[in-house]
Structure 1
Amino acid sequence: MNAGNNMISGFYEGIWIAIKMFISSSVFPFVVLFVILSIIVQWKMPVFKGKYGEWVVRSKLRNLGDAYTVFHDVYIPNGKWGLTQVDHIVTSVHGMFVIETKHYGGWIFVDEYKPYWTQVFYKRKTKMHNPIRQNYGHIQAFLTYIGQKEMQDVHSIIAFSPNSTFKFKKEFTSAHVIQFPELLSTIGQYRERRISEDIVKEINEKLAGLLVKDKSDKKRLKAEHMQSVRKAKGAKRPAPVQAGHAKNEARQVAPSSCPKCDGQLTLKTGRYGNFYGCSNYPECRYTGNVNVDRQSV
């Protein structure tokens, strides 16, 4: 019995001696540094990927030529929501191009009208907000800022990493969903002069007024933008209902999404009164009664 205990004691003592020798060796600080750097890289990897994607797109847009003006990382005032951050805006007499970049790899399951898309990467599924909808908000903020209610020649471009593979059933009608190498050809297909040089010059001057080079000012704008994002998310949440009115109030709350296709439900008026209709109509013909509460839809 004592021999067995002595063997166990000697085993652990040997491990402890080996650990002390390793800690006191000249290799130990480098191993610790390597582990710390590995943790930081893993933590910051999404940021690094995003920065790399931005750099790739910037490099490609430099080759557009003198007929185009390119603005990067633009923070546009967006009324009560504060600031909207736009990755890239390209202006020219051939049209305006608002570009949203996504440095995502893997399979991207996309639908023009659904609020979320899905990325599948090594069997891991991740949801993302529909970037077409996201860029639509950017375009509206851009038009408001330049003083244009409507502008036919503003084009939405969603640019993904070439490591992505799109999975979709229908072609897109409201945006160009492409990969980085297709950027120049997508913009270049618009060759006709559609906007006067004076208007383009005026728009460029307004956008130039938004550019910030000072790092501290840039950091402040990013913080304000994140506050705007949180404010917009908070506004979309339904207000809390008091317990005494829960039953009555629940019947007046509009269902947020279509149970058939996950599209947006909006209040409409028909020959028989009000009802909720799907935003994906006519592809989806779901309708809901306004007197049906959220749980029963």
Structure 2
Amino acid sequence: MLIVFIIVAAFIILYCVYGAREVDQYNKSQYRKITKNSFWDVEFDKGKNGEYKIYKSLFQYEMDGASFLFNCYLPMENKGTTEIDAIMIHHSGIYVFESKNYGGWIFGNERNVWWTQSLLGEGYSAQKERFYNPVWQNRTHIKYLRKKLGLLDGKIYSVIVFSDRCEFKDVTIFSDDIILTYQSQLAVSIQEYANKTIFSQEKIKEYYDLLYPYTQLTEEQKQEHIKNLKERLNLRSMQKNKVCPRCESNLVLRVAKKGALGGHEFYGCSNYPKCRYTENKQ
């Protein structure tokens, strides 16, 4: 009986010490400083937990002079804001993270509006759920980040981070500035990009100071963002998923009048000529 008591007591002590260390480490982090989230809020919220895991995976870059920002709400040209999960400003460039806490099999293509999550159901039947292409989602984030920072091209990487609980079954990425990875492989995936020097420490601080106020919204402003986001998602559904990935305006069916493709139908942005995005009719 005494042995059992000693073993249980030892486990309790170890848990208390480990927990105290984890909480202390969290309270000293940039994530805590910016988000103001408590340790237990992060422990029991999947979205916040995913953001904090990104930070923990990349802590080595903070030691290398990087600065982090979380839940950055940038103003859009039209009504509302776009929220960036996490940003790392490093001497090698700016990394914009989109965190996806999905399980199951993942199917998707950089050029498709919707990706698919497939879960194994009863009787081995697949339960499939569609979700908006995270590459396009992050492309919108980067568009407004570029506008805010005055960066016209290059220097910004789109990083799509999926949970280790999922498996990429058929996912195709074409662009060199897009990094698709699992949570556990995030640090390794970024390492090959992080050896060059583009920004000075002064420039990192300048960008950080410029963006920091957009991470400090009131609860009322955050609720307004959620409301506007729901309206945009409903609009996408009503438009049969045909939305411009560059500016989020409607895509409309048009007919080419000239050239080798004369007479062929294609989708063009309704915001033309300001936006010249097109895609072929499938």
Shorter-chain TM-score bucket reads 0.5 to 0.7
Give distance in 2, aligned partners of 1:94 and 1:225: 31
Q: State the one-letter code of the partner of 2:156.
A: V
Structure 2 stretches lacking a partner, 5+ long: 1-43, 121-125, 244-250, 269-278
Structure 1 segment 98-247 matched on structure 2, within 5 A = 98-122=96-120, 123-148=126-151, 150-168=152-170, 170-173=172-175, 175-190=178-193, 191-212=195-216, 217-233=217-233
Answer yes or no: is the 8 Å Cα contact 1:255–1:265 preserved in 2. no
Evaluate the alpha carbon distance shift between residue 132 and residue 286 of structure 1 in structure 2; reply closer, same or farther with a 3 A threshold: closer
Answer yes or no: is the 8 Å Cα contact 1:57–1:180 preserved in 2. yes
RMSD of equivalent CA atoms: 3.0
Give distance in 1, aligned partners of 2:110 and 2:75: 26
Answer yes or no: is the 8 Å Cα contact 1:81–1:232 preserved in 2. no
What TM-score results when the alignment is normalised by the length of structure 1? Answer: 0.62
Aligned length: 212
Equivalent residue, structure 2, for 1:277: 266
Give distance in 1, aligned partners of 2:81 and 2:146: 14
Give the drift of 1:66: 3.4
Q: For 1:249-294, what per-residue CA distance to the aligned partner results, in whole angstroms no more than 9, with x for missing partners?
A: xxxxx9949xxxxxx7764553274643369xxxxx9559xxxxxx
Structure 1 segment 20-31 matched on structure 2, within 5 A = none
Q: Which runs of 4+ in 1 moved over 6 A?
A: none
Secondary structure in 2 aligned to 1:226? Answer: helix
Secondary structure in 2 aligned to 1:220? Answer: helix
Q: Percent identity?
A: 25
Q: Which deviates further from its counterpart, 164-173 or 199-208?
A: 164-173
Q: State the one-letter code of the partner of 1:51.
A: K
Give the drift of 1:73: 1.2
Give distance in 2, aligned partners of 1:218 and 1:172: 38
Secondary structure in 2 aligned to 1:209? Answer: helix
Secondary structure in 1 aligned to 2:109? Answer: coil
Q: State the one-letter code of the partner of 1:128.
A: F
Equivalent residue, structure 2, for 1:243: none
Give distance in 2, aligned partners of 1:134 and 1:203: 22
Structure 1 stretches lacking a partner, 5+ long: 1-46, 240-253, 258-263, 280-284, 289-297
Q: State the one-letter code of the partner of 2:101.
A: H
